[in-house]
A and B are shown apart, each in its own frame.
Chain A
Amino acid sequence: QQQVKQSPQSLIVQKGGISIINCAYENTAFDYFPWYQQFPGKGPALLIAIRPDVSEKKEGRFTISFNKSAKQFSLHIMDSQPGDSATYFCAASRNSGAGSYQLTFGKGTKLSVIP
């Protein structure tokens, strides 16, 4: 059972273009939605995150759009640069009971920004 569905699996964008990665979830108990960026040979690192009481969050060229009713959220990378080429994971966190938390990841999107 895949709790967080991410698309596309891979994405090629021209330098200066907009990269868009989408995620959808089913469990309404999720209450925190982070995006992680992973470069080859490295562990993932937090890029940006949002809570469901906010519809949009922007940090520099990176924006999360959140649609609570549709149970969808997306990452937009404006003015994409070759240095943005990496694998991006959306994730969702929830309290799984008795103060316990689980962080569930999507399958990842490999972004390539070409000059």
Chain B
Amino acid sequence: EAQVTQNPRYLITVTGKKLTVTCSQNMNHEYMSWYRQDPGLGLRQIYYSMNVEVTDKGDVPEGYKVSRKEKRNFPLILESPSPNQTSLYFCASSRLPPTEAFFGQGTRLTVV
């Protein structure tokens, strides 16, 4: 089954404790991206990647890091999480150019 898998689905952490949210796709897509979804703000792009070792900032990259060492994986790293990063995070992948994006199930992150 074609899918984008995120882990974990739910995470509660404390301020400053480094965390990683994993994302993996099995569709051999070149393009992968991370979004955060907040009430009233919609989906905002954090980072995206056109291919292995190629990443670029989206609209809200501050406080986040990503890497693309393998085509299928695109982890999101929060080096020092803060409460304003409490949000619902989605990973997505697509072919190039990015027409249909396939989204994961989401990761609900709470930073206390």
Is the A/B pair a real complex?
yes
How far apart are the CA atoms of A44 and B91 in the complex, in Å?
Answer: 10
The listed residue (B44, B50, B96) touching A105 by CB distance below 8 A is B44
Q: How far is the CA of A42 from the CA of B21 in the complex (A)?
A: 17
Q: Cα distance A34–B98 when bound, in Å?
A: 10
B42 lies within 8 A of A106 (CB): yes
A9 within 8 A of B: yes
Q: Among B45, B98, B104, B105, which residue has the most Cβ atoms of chain A within 10 A?
A: B98
Counting residue pairs across A and B whose Cβ atoms lie within 8 Å, the total is: 65
Known: A100-B50, A102-B45. A46 touches B59 (CB 8 A): no
Q: Using an 8 Å CB-CB cutoff, how does the interface string of B45-84 with A read, 1 for contact, 0 for none?
A: 1001010000010110000000000000000000000000
Hey, which chain B residues are within 8 Å of A6, CB to CB? 42
Please state if A107 and B41 are interface contacts (CB–CB under 8 Å): yes
When the two chains form their complex, are residues B41 and A103 in contact, meaning their CB atoms are under 8 A apart?
no
A49 beta carbon closer than 8 Å to chain B: yes
* B-chain residues with CB within 8 Å of residue A107 when the two chains form the complex: 40-42
* Interface residue count on the B side (C-beta < 8 Å): 27
- Residues of B near A95 (CB, < 8 A) are 97
Name the residue of chain A whose CB is nearest to the CB of B35. Answer: A105
Report the Cα distance A101→B42, complex, angstroms. 19
Q: Nearest 7 pairs between A and B by C-beta?
A: A43-B103, A107-B42, A105-B43, A46-B100, A108-B42, A101-B98, A105-B42
29 residue pairs A–B, Cβ–Cβ below 8 Å: A6-B42, A9-B40, A32-B97, A34-B99, A34-B101, A41-B105, A41-B106, A42-B106, A43-B4, A43-B92, A43-B104, A44-B90, A46-B100, A46-B101, A49-B99, A89-B43, A93-B98, A93-B99, A96-B56, A100-B48, A101-B31, A102-B45, A102-B58, A103-B33, A105-B43, A105-B44, A106-B42, A107-B40, A108-B42
